[in-house]
Amino acid sequence: YLDLKSIGAREVNNYLNKITSIKEISCCYMLHDVSEWKLYISVWTKTIERYDEIQTKIISHFKKHINNYISFQSVKSYTYFMRILNPKKKTKIDVKGNPENFEIKDIDWKIINKLHENSRMPILKLAKELKTTTNTVLRRINFLLKNNVIERFYPILDVRKIGLNEYTFISRIDPSYSKQIEEFIEYTKKDPRFAIVIKAVGYVNLYYAFYVKNDAELNEINSKIEKILGKAILKTYRIEVESILS
């Protein structure tokens, strides 16, 4: 997360495209003014050295625009994918560790890139755009699915159109309150309004998002979080996406 001044989305996006690839940047968002931070970049690398290299390049390039920045690494995430619409949906738990010892082919990355743009693209059109056969595309997609590189295809909903508001927060939590942190995670597993929770290491070590219908529900959840975590909360930032760059 970066707090930037006097810079536009186009300049940010153009620079990121020069130093990274789809293999390393999973998403990049410009953030709304309600957020202290103005830019969020999610980076996936095989080594901490490569992560540090990308981070250093970004900070060095935007140095004159940066007021502040924070960096953290996900350790364990709990994702629900609109469980509010399907309360019986089970939690998906993702534990970050060392990358598995296999390489995916260049054609696989091309397929992932195309599906990232449009996950509903027909196989025939995908094959034509990649100048290969439908059999090859089907075989490689099946490989990616089998090895959990692609885990699911799902729609991205505009939650406001179904009467919901999304709230996202990142927090700096005193890690010595481990019991309270686990109690909070158990609470989020039971409340279908939560969309994702991430335990992390770094300046901030807890990320969470939830959906509510109104201010009463927002106050209810915030009060519950305060009751569970209490003195463990050292600092909390609200995050709201204004535009998606990549």
Tell me the mean pLDDT in the region 214-234. Answer: 96
Residue 28 banded pLDDT, cuts 50, 70, 90: confident
Q: Does position 92 have pLDDT exceeding 70, yes or no?
A: no
The secondary structure of 5-29, three-state, reads CCCCHHHHHHHHHHHCCCCCEEEEE
CA angle 150, 79, 162 (to 5 degrees): 100
Tell me the mean pLDDT in the region 20-31. Answer: 74
Q: Does position 90 have pLDDT exceeding 70, yes or no?
A: no
Q: In this structure, is the dihedral angle defined by the CA atoms of residues 39, 44, 48 and 51, taken in order, positive or negative?
A: negative
**What's the pTM?**
0.78
